[in-house]
């Protein structure tokens, strides 16, 4: 009987601790769920020039839970185009997700994915993610990475843990998903991957 009572007490204590943690995270989520400004796009990134910003619908922003999202089109002197998508949030880490999920529905098929190394500064290297997707209209090459305050990483879970740690410390945190993509009509991707690799380096330099 005493052992059963002790077990019940332990269960109650564990449930109480879990409730406190959930309520605390919820309170922190509410306190830091402050809208942030839309991202600003550079006029030039390497050989690529800003052409236009593509509107994101209010419905999509509502689903994302932040208005800190922007999509821009860039063009080089040969008329090739690429797109840069930046999603920023200061309150909802759930706003940020792994981009593959957006592409894997419908008639899209992810052909390959992996990581590549970029060198945004001398003696500094970091990894970014990439994947190649095929749809009815052709192929698309995508490169992306994450930020959270001073953290820049290709690791989604590391970013999410950083968010959680700062919230439990009652400290503000701002994070983002940065994605670069380029359409291709053939299945030779090495050249496009090299171009996006250089753009990713430029974007990291802008952050720093």
Q: For residue 81, is it within any domain?
A: yes
Range of the domain at 184: 33-207
Q: Within a domain: residue 85?
A: yes
CA angle 152, 55, 135 (to 5 degrees): 75
Contact 199, 180 (CB under 8 A): yes
pTM for the model stands at: 0.81
- 7 CB-contact burial (10 Å; exposed 0-12 / middle 13-18 / buried 19+): exposed
| CA 129 to each of CA 15, 39, 109, 150: distance values in angstroms, whole numbers, following the listed order | 39, 21, 17, 19
Does a structural domain hold residue 10?
A: no
pLDDT at 31 over 50: no
The mean pLDDT value of the chain amounts to 83
Mean pLDDT along residues 185-191 = 80
Contact by Cβ (8 Å): 106, 125? no
When pLDDT is cut at 50, 70 and 90, the band that residue 126 belongs to is very high
Number of domains in the chain: 1
**Token representation of residue 123:** 């003696």
Residue 122 located in a structural domain = yes
> Domain of 160: which CATH number?
3.40.1000
| Residue 13 within a domain | no
């Amino acid at each position: 009987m005493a052992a059963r009572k002790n077990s019940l007490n332990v269960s109650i204590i564990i449930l109480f601790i879990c409730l406190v943690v959930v309520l605390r995270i919820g309170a922190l989520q509410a306190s830091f769920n402050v809208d942030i400004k839309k991202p600003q796009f550079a006029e030039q990134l390497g050989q690529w020039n800003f052409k236009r910003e593509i509107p994101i619908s209010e419905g999509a922003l509502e689903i994302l839970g932040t208005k800190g999202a922007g999509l821009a089109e860039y063009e080089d002197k040969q008329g090739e185009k690429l797109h840069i998508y930046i999603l920023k949030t200061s309150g909802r880490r759930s706003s940020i997700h792994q981009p593959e999920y957006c592409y894997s529905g419908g008639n899209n098929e992810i052909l390959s994915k992996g990581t590549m190394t970029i060198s945004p500064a001398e003696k500094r290297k970091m990894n970014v993610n990439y994947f190649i997707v095929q749809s009815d209209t052709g192929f698309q090459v995508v490169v992306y990475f994450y930020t959270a305050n001073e953290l820049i990483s290709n690791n989604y879970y590391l970013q999410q843990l950083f968010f959680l740690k700062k919230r439990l410390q009652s400290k503000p945190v701002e994070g983002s998903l940065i994605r670069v993509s380029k359409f291709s009509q053939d299945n030779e991707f090495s050249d496009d991957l090299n171009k996006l690799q250089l753009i990713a380096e430029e974007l990291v330099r802008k952050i720093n």
